[in-house]
Chains A and B, each alone.
Chain A
């Protein structure tokens, strides 16, 4: 067990460090540490308008969301892993040549990924807060407790989505039944207690008042979710040889209004047949946003009127921009290398498919606006969400080309991304708080977005296509 785990850790390090250098990858957690360390000094300032408890809610929600977004291991059948890693020959495929079961290798893979995310994101953030605590007056015990509960929040998101995605891979009706039961349970809790169910999130309860019993209960829930998910996981069957009718030609005719119908058709079929369109929509979009809505709604009283809707629209925009990874994760440049297709054309194609997928966030924001009784602000909220999404994806395409999932761990890439996107988010949050209708000006973000896309095409055409 340990040998395989150790080798996988080394392998993961080399996959990233060979892409953009050991130093750039090693500096990634250092940067997260730096952000947390410096951010800690803002806490006393923020506490003048926002109680400390609510700030804790925001940070926990962020880590819960991070766990949710990386936890869809149940969707990782062999084929998706193969496409995710390109032609690289990884230990994850060792079952074919070593006397190890798929289940055993997969559980090592999941644990390895979890430990990696913990080292890259969770620990540096908590550690930054701990190191800053003597200067900010936060008791060391509170800082240590925060590190523990953030780690738990991350693991809750990861294990819950791992569990749900495994159910989804086994039986879609079972997932819907399970989600219905969950929603009914949450609803019941809210009605019975008259409180937002997000307040019953175990890491938050633990952070509010630490008890060993609560900690053990949290760990037990995590262990059950993880154990059941591993037991239910089944690698994708190979060689099923199911026959499919020709969907390419009719779909290409239907998509003929797009700039590059063949590429858009291929992407659409990839998304649909891999099960990724529905799977990603649930686990990487709807679920994180539903959770965020619960947590953000706790902060409603501290925002200006209508502020919650616009904060949510911005959050939706940022999450919607990650749909670019949905259309790039199945494709290395390899299959196009024998065709007259430039990287720039592929980027345009992927962004076109991405643009079509933006119907989802547009609808989602519209529904939220209507359900929250703020239909009057539907249009500015949708415009803001989509503008943020297009701007953020253009920045990502410029920085990472066709490999956003990998290059995001290049510290330089992430730092530039955070600065360029962070400035825009800050400005438009302020604008939305000043006057909701002013955010219609966010449509101007399409200008820098277009500029970044043009820069991306020139930049990535000039380098050898990534493959590892």
Chain B
């Protein structure tokens, strides 16, 4: 299988704080890979480094064959990204924001594609409303749309289900599962372990910036273990180490 995302000794320090410490991992094409960890474990920092939003202070990483340090814009051009916090620009409507994304990414036929997404995520009635007036859930739908509207080979999502109601969570989980079946790859970070066990094919556990474990979910379930209990025992052990 082709490796689409690879990090070697990836590190990030903020002043004296070691946010990520020599993390090495690889993600194969067609995987739905989950980066798991408690709050403050470095998940968001890793996603930011892998998408060229922040520079590593050590190590290397390539995404779809592009080096994240030397060509961060090239990386962002090839992937889809949903950041944890960012919201769409306040004074554009939802539809105008997608037109803006299409103009920047040079996506053809944006009207048809956008309409499909408005219907699919059930927010067509909000397409002409300014982004600042949208609810958190609708903003998340819009951010989800901008990340997938160009059908990237790899999407990196920080907390994919945050702000979605249970019905929409179900729709999104199904979409992600179907997306990887088409041969595309998804890299998510989450601390909701049940979701990770349900939808991920591979995973990595991060604690205090250190990688504790990485491997296929099937290996765990094959030996009768569950991801939440495995995660908790590993993190607790590391906490007391």
Contacts and interface: CB of A to CB of B under 8 A. Distances in A.
Interface stretch (B48-56, B181-189, B205-213): B48-56
B164 interface: no
A240 interface: yes
Interface in A242-275: 242-249, 252, 261-263, 265-266, 269-270, 273-274
A262 B104 CA distance: 7
8 contacts: A87-B85, A239-B133, A261-B103, A266-B89, A266-B100, A337-B81, A340-B73, A464-B54
Residue of B80, B82, B132 ringed by the most chain A CB atoms within 10 A:
B132
A241 interface: yes
Interface residues of B, number: 40
Interface residues of A, number: 38
B112 to A, nearest CB: 14
Interface string B144-166: 00110000000000000000000
- Where chain A touches its partner, the secondary structure class is loop
Contact of B128 (A79, A246, A270, A341): A246
Nearest to A465: B53
B116 interface: no
Contacts, number: 108
B100 A241 contact: no
Given A338-B147, A342-B73, 6 more contacts: A248-B92, A330-B90, A338-B143, A338-B146, A342-B72, A464-B55
A241 B133 contact: yes
A335 B96 contact: no
B81 A338 contact: yes
Nearest to B55: A464
Contact of B82 (A238, A243, A334, A338): A338
B76 A339 contact: yes
Contacts of A266: 89, 92, 100
Contact of B100 (A87, A248, A331, A465): A248
A6 interface: no
B105 A330 contact: no
B1 to A, nearest CB: 27
Nearest to B96: A248
B64 interface: no
Interface string A367-384: 000000000000000000
Nearest to B128: A243
Interface in B101-139: 101, 103-105, 126, 128-130, 132-133, 135
A272 to B, nearest CB: 8
Contact of A262 (B54, B93, B103, B126): B103
Residue of B87, B103, B135 ringed by the most chain A CB atoms within 10 A:
B103
Contact of B83 (A82, A334, A341, A465): A334
B99 interface: yes
Given A83-B90, A241-B129, A339 B104 contact: yes
B122 to A, nearest CB: 16
Residue of B55, B91, B126, B130 ringed by the most chain A CB atoms within 10 A:
B91
Contacts of A79: 90-91, 132
